[in-house]
């Protein structure tokens, strides 16, 4: 599952990098909970929670059905 999640993050990464940010996988916990860290411009952006939930989480759930939730680390 970790490889699938990393592949999905690699697909969404270019959009974040275009805005000066990035995302890194921290861990995959029990029950399909994925923890990520937003870095660069995304780390301090007031819209980071929206990016996390409406962008990254939605995309990861589509790409990797085992993902149940994405949280910020």
**Gap between the Cα atoms of 38 and 49, Å rounded:** 10
List all residues 6 or more positions away from 22 whose beta carbon is below 8 Å from its beta carbon.
Answer: 13, 16, 38, 39, 40, 42
Q: What is the pLDDT of residues 49-72, one digit of tens each?
A: 999 999 999 999 999 999 999 999
Q: Would you state the pLDDT for residue 17? A: 94
Q: What is the pLDDT of residues 16-61, one digit of tens each?
A: 999 899 999 999 999 999 999 999 998 888 889 999 999 999 999 9
**Gap between the Cα atoms of 26 and 58, Å rounded:** 18
Domains of the chain plus CATH, in order, are 2-72 (3.30.300.130)
Residue with tokens 């990016």: 51
């Amino acid at each position: 599952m970790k490889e699938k999640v990393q592949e999905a993050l690699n697909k969404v990464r270019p959009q974040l990098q275009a805005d000066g940010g990035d995302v890194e996988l921290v861990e995959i916990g029990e029950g399909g909970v994925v923890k990520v860290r937003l870095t660069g411009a995304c780390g301090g952006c007031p819209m980071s929670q929206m990016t996390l939930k409406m962008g990254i989480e939605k995309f990861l759930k589509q790409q990797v059905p085992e993902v149940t939730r994405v949280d910020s680390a």
